[in-house]
A = this chain, B = another copy of it.
Amino acid sequence: MNRLFHLPLSPFSRKIRIVLGEKKVSGVDLVEERPWERRMDFLLLSPAGQVPVLQLNGTTLSDSTAIFEYLEETIPEPRLLPRDPAQRAEARRLAAWFDIKFQREVTENLLQERVNKKLMKSGYPDGARIRAGSANIKYHLDYMGWLLERRHWLAGEALTIADISAAAHLSCLDYINDVDWGRNAAVKDWYARIKSRPSFRPLLNDTVPGFTVPSHYANLDF
């Protein structure tokens, strides 16, 4: 049985769902897993105790970057990394930018405080962290805008894992209305293009009880 253990508002889970959609891998059941419950059967699959975990044709994979590279190697088309090694490095650099730097400076401050603490019943949001996340996202949107004024997609002229990683984070933050789409027209245009992809649409139908999505969230025209 093919399964993806995921969380609806985990950017790393969303990244893999989009990759599976782009590569037209069907028949993967989504299983919601709350890693903080530390379910023993899940920890045996994922020693790091994190989502996503993908079980595909008998192979169990964890760490979203390792999962992505596996899918790119075993299902090469459509390519989500360019052919040229230096351009591949650029796509990987930017994917890591969102998975590590943006995650730390923005996503953790906003999503962890506003959503995960409530789901985990682990206290009230920390206002200082929310303010830090809200301040930091501006610099990241500006950097994305700078790139997108020079390139059609974040890492060059084709959609790559960099766009998917960035959009996975932004879509989670958009769910809690933490993205100022008015800040940069090139970023808004880029996100509209991502949002309209068939691989992306299912994510926008996810709901998390207790959190109301803003009206623009699933709209292609936002």
In the complex, whether A129 has a CB less than 8 A from a CB of chain B is no
In the complex, whether A150 has a CB less than 8 A from a CB of chain B is no
What's the minimum C-beta distance from A144 to chain B, rounded to whole angstroms? 11
What's the minimum C-beta distance from A23 to chain B, rounded to whole angstroms? 14
Per assembly, the copies of the chain total 2
B65 touches A97 (CB 8 A): no
In the complex with contacts A73-B85, A100-B100, A66-B47 CB distance below 8 A: no
A89 touches B70 (CB 8 A): yes
B66 touches A96 (CB 8 A): yes
B89 touches A69 (CB 8 A): yes
Q: Which of B66, B90, B97 is in CB contact (< 8 Å) with A93?
A: B66
Chain B residues with CB under 8 Å of A92's CB are 63, 65-66, 69
Q: Which of B48, B61, B69, B96 is in CB contact (< 8 Å) with A97?
A: B48
In the complex, whether A88 has a CB less than 8 A from a CB of chain B is yes
Render A87-124 as a binary contact track against B, CB cut-off 8 A, 1 for contact. Answer: 01110110011001100000000000000000000000
